Amino acid sequence: MARPLSRRTLLRTTALAATATAVSAAAAGRATAAPGAPGPSTNAVGAAATAFTTVAPSAWTVRPFGLEEVTLGPGVFADKRRLMLDHARGYDVHRLLQVFRANAGLSAGGAVAPGGWEGLDGEANGNLRGHYTGHFLTMLAQAYRSTGERVFADRIGTVVGALAEVREALRRDPAVLSVEGRFGRAAEQVRGSHRYVDLPAAVLDGSPALTLSAWVRPAHGAAWARVLDFGDDTTRYLYLAARNANGVPRFAVTTSGPGGEQGLDGTAPLPLDRWSHLAVTLDGTAGTLYVDGTAVARDTALTLTPAALGPLAHHWLGRSHFAGDPVFAGAFEEVDVFSRALTGAEITELAGRRAVDASTGRGDLASYAFDETSGGTFADASGRGLDATLRRTWGGPSHPGFLAAYPETQFIELESMTGSDYTRVWAPYYTAHKILRGLLDAYLATGDDRALDLASGLCDWMHARLSALPAATLQRMWGLFSSGEFGGVVEAVCDLHTLTGKAEHLALARLFDLDRLIDACAADTDVLDGLHANQHIPVFTGLVRLHDETGEERYLTAAKNFWHMVVPHRTYGIGGTSSGEFWRARGVIAGTIGATTAETCCAYNMLKLSRTLFFHEQDPAYMDHYERALYNQVLGSKQDRPDAEKPLVTYFVGLAPGHVRDYTPKQGTTCCEGTGLESATKYQDSVYFAKADASALYVNLYSPSELTWAARGVTVTQTTRFPEEQGSTLTLGGGPAAFTLLLRVPSWATAGFRVTVNGRAVPGTPAPGGYFGVFRTWRAGDTVRVLVPFRLRVERALDDPTLQTLFLGPVNLVARHPSTELLRCALYGNAGLSGDLLPSLTPVAGKPLHHTLDGVGFAPFAEGTEEPTHAYFRRSEPRVVFGTSDSGVANPARGDGVTLLDEIWAGAPFGSRSALGTRVRATVADWVAAGLLGGADGDRVVRTARNASYAP
């Protein structure tokens, strides 16, 4: 077994490896286009799953830079990140820890869980609680690595320290949480801790008469939480509940289940967070219920006595025999059981003082003062020696590495589930992944060994659970929608394995294989229709990492094929995917437009997968998609205003006409807000990559930033207002160093791509959708200027070419209009010979990238506003128009929706009016021959085109 490396060793090892593989500087020379600049490659190499991986597999041919190596410059990314960093600095992390501390029976110090999905009262019974804490840890780690601000490291330390305390509390027998009581000390039963007090079996001792007396301080108003429940099962029992279905106290006794209960009900609810005295007296046929010394219910016709129940198996304080009932949340003090029915005066006396100080004395059957301040037992002062024991309803973890914000029961129940029910089990391994990822990122950011120990222990526990299950059980589990979702756990486990070297961790990663999905995708068989999108995208990032660790090609092949099933076949213009969280049939875009399209988590995970695949195969298509989704959906998912309580990130991005983005979905703390925390603190993670041998530097994104490339002793400062500016300037520092600068040529860059070095043009013809290489010995002060002219273009929905979305370079321009009907737009009227549609729009003065068309405003999708937007519009070009000349001829369309004007302008750019005229004549002739256009109308179209004037 390999010993975990310390952070210092990791960083030193990485630096030495980078130095050893660096290529010697070549002789200085004039900049030239590098021969063989990379296009798509089939070379499969190892990949880092996140920016935090510190140890790179030796097979990697491309490596990312750490967040600390790339500094964001002024611009839209820095502005969005600043909002999230302010949120990270100010949010009370103890609120996130409340659910973990509750699960372990620890005091939360008054902290209140955030709400939404992150709390005991969240959706589906709070069954996903704990996930958001993992996201928050990752955000803090990214923020610390990006800024170096100590506040983020301190907050990481607080969270990690608390989680260490939680795990220690979970792995030992429960211990009393002593709090101030009505008279002295009391025992707090934290809501969510699932703890109760177990009394010995002889408590009632067959007594025909009885008094139950208890001081309680309820902390929650849940119905049917028991103060006590003595019984065998759900047939023979007596109980005292703090609240019944009507919210008032209830005592009941039965030998035939709920239908045979003989009961006493109070008249008013017990106040929350205040001490109340409850008492019940039973004497023959008479029973009385008291609240704070006053009789509130009496029945003189009871037929059941405690003796009629006979010997009972369980005597519980705080727990019900009905599994669906909540465990009592609050505090106990002074619980006494008497073998006689006390008088009203005696009950009134007990309602004002300790039993030991009252005329009654302590209960003769059992008496618990709850004065203990440590340990897990409570002394019985009745003289009968019936000491009670503090227990958990679920016992305890099956392995000491267990760490969660809820009991292990969700994991256990999943193993026998055959259908989905997220109110019972909601993705426990998904939640485990978020916690694991956060701990790994915390360790790599701060070197806190506690975080690595917690992460390693969590995986040890998962391996212990899952390795004992039959393969068929695992396949069934992972195939369940939602309940079996496990997120990116395989990726995180593989990253942990690079740190620990433990064979069990690699074995664990393989236990999450969903073979039917892997095999189908490896065979390039598209089976995505109907699958839950975000449940499966991170699966494939994990498979890529599993390939890194095992060398099994099936994993990598499946991931690459899967990516191409999503892009472009299930991808909207903004770069997002999914409809109502699910995928529909391949190629159906227009048919899925609605209010619940493009779940934000999906965009986050597709970015991660694209990035990871690029380390294996430097296909520029991966970075084209990365740019599309980052500059549009991901940026636009963050609202442009501060908020101390919420991260203000979208869940769905509705693409229906007039949709208004919801930046606080489901009251906050959803999966997408969690990934939003991460996205907004790692915008720079893919701006630059380097070849593993340091022979080349990839510039993937044109973003204001500064790279420190220690392996080559250089810095690269990128100065730009992109995308407001159509280009970028890169200035080299340090050196000299010989390497190839690989500049990405976006696939949309069809209007030209020019590069100068120190003012001199670099020869070569950059091809859109590739990288343009410039090799030289770089020296301090060298300046590279990249010009990338934008064109306005439309992208058509795959299943309906008349449904279109508008782009200016990489920027998706969306209409802002309150209508909930599709807007109809015509764009060819002022099209230039270049084919650029921009002359049809009117720029808005003083607002870069803002335009109007027929009085409707168009703005970048990335702007996080709450204005109603139209990402898609209906293209309507009713007549054949060239420039300002209208032919008067209706614009005909083929059966696939492509119009005559579409066909003509598909030939752009045109070098001259003559070239355009040639295209018009040829296209018209084809359409006339096909019977799509009359001959006379065709002649009018040709004449109009010949006489029209055009923009360049």
Is residue 499 over pLDDT 70?
Answer: yes
Closest C-alpha to 948, from 890, 876, 906, 887: 887
For strands 824-825 and 873-875, give the pairing: parallel
pLDDT of 31 > 90? The answer is: no
Q: What is the pLDDT of residue 49?
A: 31
Q: Lowest mean pLDDT: which of 56-70, 152-166, 856-870?
A: 56-70
Confidence tier at 122 by pLDDT (50, 70, 90): confident
Residue 1 has pLDDT above 70, yes or no: no
In this predicted structure, the answer to whether residue 328 has a pLDDT above a threshold of 50 is: yes
Q: Residue range 349-363: average pLDDT?
A: 97
| Per-residue pLDDT at 292 | 98
Model pLDDT for residues 745-761, shown as the tens digit of each residue: 999 999 999 999 999 99
Q: Write down the pLDDT at residue 2.
A: 33
The better pLDDT of the pair 930, 43 is held by 930
Among 70-84, 747-761, 884-898, the minimum mean pLDDT is found in 884-898
Mean pLDDT over 467-486 rounds to 97
| pLDDT band of 666, cuts 50, 70, 90 | confident
Give the percent of the chain with pLDDT over 70. Answer: 94
Nearest CA to 633 among 682, 669, 599, 595?
A: 599
pLDDT score, position 312: 96
Is the model's pLDDT at 336 over the cut of 50?
Answer: yes
Q: Is 144 a residue whose pLDDT tops 70? A: yes
781-794 pLDDT, tens digit each: 999 999 999 999 99
Average pLDDT over the chain reads 92
3-state secondary structure at position 818? coil
Q: Is the pLDDT of residue 132 over 50?
A: yes
The pLDDT of residue 829 is 85
Lowest mean pLDDT among 17-31, 153-167, 275-289, 614-628: 17-31
Dist CA 143 CA 661 (whole Å): 26
Q: Quote the pLDDT of residue 223.
A: 96
- pLDDT score recorded for residue 952: 75
| 13-17, 705-709, 932-936: segment of lowest average pLDDT | 13-17
Q: Are strands 70-72 and 705-709 parallel, antiparallel or unpaired?
A: antiparallel
pLDDT at 835: 87
Q: Which of 114-123, 295-304, 596-605, 700-709 has the lowest mean pLDDT?
A: 114-123
Q: Is residue 35 pLDDT above 50, yes or no?
A: no
Domain boundaries, the chain: 7-64+687-787, 195-392, 877-952
Residues ≥6 apart with Cβ < 8 Å to 87:
642, 643, 644, 646, 647
pLDDT for the residue numbered 818: 97
What confidence tens digit (pLDDT) does each residue in 220-272 have?
999 999 999 999 999 999 999 999 999 999 999 999 999 999 999 999 999 99
Strands 330-338 and 696-699: unpaired
Q: Indicate the pLDDT class of residue 949, thresholds 50, 70 and 90.
A: confident
* pLDDT recorded at residue 464: 98
Give the number of residues written for the chain.
Answer: 952
- Provide the pLDDT confidence category of residue 896 given band limits of 50, 70 and 90: confident
Write the CB contacts of 857 (distance below 8 Å, at least 6 apart in sequence).
815, 816, 817, 844, 850, 851
Task: Give me the helix-helix angle, 600-614 and 533-550, nearest 10°.
Answer: 20
Of 1.20.140.10, 3.60.10.10, 3.30.465.10, 2.60.120.200, the CATH number of 195-392 is: 2.60.120.200
Tell me which residue has tokens 């803002």.
850
- In whole angstroms, how far apart are CA 807 and each of 129, 446, 588, 836, 849? 40, 42, 20, 11, 10
Average pLDDT (892-909) is: 92
Residue 78 buriedness (CB in 10 A; 0-12 / 13-18 / 19+) = middle
Alpha-carbon distances of 330 from 289, 319, 322, 696, rounded to whole Å: 21, 12, 19, 63
H runs (alpha helix) in 447-552: 449-466, 471-478, 489-500, 503-510, 515-522, 533-550
User: pLDDT tier at 11 (50, 70, 90 boundaries)?
Assistant: very low
CA–CA gap between residue 204 and residue 758 (Å, rounded): 94
Whether the pLDDT of residue 737 is over 90: the answer is yes
Per-residue model confidence (pLDDT) at position 746: 98
Determine what percent of the chain is predicted with pLDDT higher than 90: 90
Give the span between the Cα atoms of 833 and 943, in whole angstroms: 17
Rounded to whole angstroms, the Cα distance separating 830 from 827 reads 7
What is the pLDDT, as a whole number, of residue 79?
97
Question: Quick one: average pLDDT of 906-934?
Answer: 94
